[in-house]
């Protein structure tokens, strides 16, 4: 496995609307794998391999590039940064987190914590309050000089290194750089094996999924796929304190064939076809259902006159933390 590429993908900053550094990394790899490469007006990278057949069926994979993060909304006179979230965070996971603030002057390390008193001087009522993500501030250590370094609109990501641990991978941005990696490596493997395809295959590395599937919508309207495949992560809650019925996926039980979430329902025929292929190839799989949330498969399904669509997902523990 090309884990070095996955590491570089995960460690590259790229919040919604600021995916250009991730796109540049992917584009370098994609030039060796696809017949045509284009960047659309929103910034999605659209990569196409021509099919061998006449009037080929169009199959499109969507792999979003953006990660959840923050955008700087204010810089105080003392140099603290106020931020607004881009994507869904649980504020319980944000205390004393190391972050990277990406500005025109470079990437700067910082510490995120909630406004207010430390526990030593909190009242009993203070201790009951759970802050919202927008209540957190960032201290970069620059003091008043921060006003000359940072601007409103600078991006913030978690400063978490890619680590191999006990046979697993721990990193920020696995949602959804794992899908970007899979989109590249699947095509690379197909080329290495000498496999041809009759269909026209488009792998779109999309923008702004975490704030509403925005990039996938515009790409899908342009491509007009017959079949759309949303490649993403999903919950893996096989950890203490979660009832079995709420686990979504279990690590080690195989790839997730995504049936439903809050944004779309996968095509029943595609589900049956994917499961039949997995069974024939002895590929472990598990069905996944979510009550809420969404992914790019919904945008592919609903674009133009519509497409058959399905989700392929990777179970990931501690997602959006």
Q: Strand 97-103 to strand 285-289: parallel, antiparallel, or no bridges (unpaired)? A: unpaired
Instruction: State the Cα–Cα distance between residues 314 and 213, nearest whole angstrom.
Output: 18
Instruction: State the Cα–Cα distance between residues 59 and 229, nearest whole angstrom.
Output: 8
Identified catalytic residue from 209, 210, 273, 282: 209
Instruction: State the Cα–Cα distance between residues 79 and 145, nearest whole angstrom.
Output: 7
Within 10 A of 129 (CB to CB), how many other CB atoms are there? 11
Q: 223, 204, 234: which is closest to 307 by C-alpha?
A: 223
CB 2 within 8 A of CB 189: no
Q: 33, 57, 58: which is closest to 47 by C-alpha?
A: 33
What's the farthest any 2 CA atoms get from each other in the chain? 73
**Bond from prior residue into 176 cis (ω within 30 degrees of 0):** yes
- If you count DSSP H runs as helices and E runs as strands, how many of each does the chain have, helices first? 8, 16
Beta bridge partners of 214: none
- 27 belongs to the catalytic site: no
Exposed (0-12), middle (13-18) or buried (19+): which is 321, by Cβ within 10 Å?
A: middle
Three-state DSSP class for 6? helix
Which sequence positions are flagged as catalytic?
209
């Amino acid at each position: 496995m090309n884990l070095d590429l996955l590491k570089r993908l995960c460690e590259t900053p790229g919040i919604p609307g600021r995916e250009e550094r991730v796109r540049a990394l992917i584009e370098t790899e994609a030039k060796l794998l696809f017949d045509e490469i284009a960047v659309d007006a929103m910034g999605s990278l659209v990569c196409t391999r021509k099919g061998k057949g006449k009037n080929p069926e169009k199959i499109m994979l969507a792999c979003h590039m953006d990660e959840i993060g923050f955008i700087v909304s204010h810089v105080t006179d003392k140099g603290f940064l106020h931020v607004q979230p881009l994507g869904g965070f649980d504020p319980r996971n944000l205390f004393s987190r190391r972050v990277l603030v990406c500005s025109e002057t470079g990437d700067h390390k910082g510490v995120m914590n909630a406004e207010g008193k430390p526990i030593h001087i909190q009242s009993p009522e203070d201790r009951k309050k759970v802050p919202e993500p927008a209540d957190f501030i960032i201290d970069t250590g620059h003091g008043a000089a921060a006003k000359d370094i940072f601007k409103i609109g600078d991006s913030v990501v978690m400063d978490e290194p890619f680590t191999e641990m006990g046979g697993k991978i721990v990193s920020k941005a696995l949602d959804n750089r794992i899908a970007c990696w899979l989109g590249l490596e699947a095509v690379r493997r197909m080329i290495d094996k000498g496999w041809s395809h009759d269909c026209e295959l488009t792998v779109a590395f999309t923008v702004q999924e975490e704030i509403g599937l925005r990039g996938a919508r515009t790409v899908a309207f342009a491509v007009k796929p017959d079949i759309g495949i949303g490649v993403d992560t999903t919950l893996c809650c096989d950890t203490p304190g979660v009832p079995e019925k709420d686990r979504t996926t279990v690590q080690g039980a195989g790839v997730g064939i995504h049936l439903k979430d809050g944004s779309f329902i996968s095509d029943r025929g595609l589900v049956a076809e994917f499961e039949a292929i997995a069974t024939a190839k002895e590929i472990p799989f598990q069905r996944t259902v979510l009550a809420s949330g969404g992914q790019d498969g919904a945008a592919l399904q609903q674009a133009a006159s519509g497409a058959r669509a399905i989700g392929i997902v990777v179970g990931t523990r501690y997602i959006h933390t």
